[in-house]
Amino acid sequence: MKIEDLRREYTAAGLREADASDDPLEQFGRWFDQALAAEVPEVNAMTLATADGAGRPAARIVLLKGFNDEGFVFYTNHESRKGQELAANPQAALLFFWVPLERQVRIEGPVTRVSREESEAYFRSRPRGSQIGAWASQQSAVIADRGELEARVRTLESQYADQDVPLPPRWGGYRLTPEAIEFWQGRPSRLHDRLRYQFEDGAWRRHRLSP
């Protein structure tokens, strides 16, 4: 089959204003719970798009680790490419794509680091192997081969064999505070439903967008 012939019709549901919350964070919670109930694989996986100081974009998948009225939280190495880009240009976009439900959610806004205490609390909840990995990986840096990384892991496992693994100083969380959230529901004939919430003058305002 040719690439240009790949397509599917979206028929699962619609998205009407009457059925959507006036609060986009509440609406996100509804959709997230429905995605959990539908056992969508990697339901908290999201594309994180950033740009460097010159405006060159980059995107990758990260995992959502919390959300509330303050924003959406993820964790990474502050010295990684995305960490450096967020330091130079603290704006980002998130994208969730829940294929079984034929839904997307796009979120845009400024990004700040979470408190050291919040990062510490989350780090303590991680599996020990992931804690060691946070120390072993100089994320985005060039290494000679896989063996170099595995040797570093063995050294760290020996170093912390009889103690808790501390939080690396270069590792922690970020919070995107939403200024715009768009809910996309696939519909037949590419006439999709799109509701965009924009935070303006201290309040959320909702608009329907043409597909």
- What's the Rg (C-alpha) of the chain? 20
Active site residue 190: yes
Bridge pairing between strands 91-98 and 45-51:
antiparallel
pLDDT, residue 5, reads: 87
Its pTM surpasses 0.85: yes
Cα–Cα nearest to 104, from 91, 93, 116, 119: 93
Q: At 92, is the pLDDT very low, low, confident or very high (cuts 50, 70, 90)?
A: very high
Tokens of 210: 């043409």
Q: Which of 60, 124, 154, 190 is catalytic?
A: 190
Burial of 193 (0-12, 13-18, 19+ CB in 10 A): buried
Tokens of 101: 């439900």
Q: What tens digit of pLDDT does each residue of 35-67 get?
A: 999 999 999 999 999 999 999 999 999 999 999
Please, what are the domains in the chain? 3-123+169-208 (2.30.110.10)
Handedness of CA 69, 73, 78, 83 (dihedral sign): negative
Q: At 25, is the pLDDT very low, low, confident or very high (cuts 50, 70, 90)?
A: very high
Residue 165 has pLDDT above 90, yes or no: yes
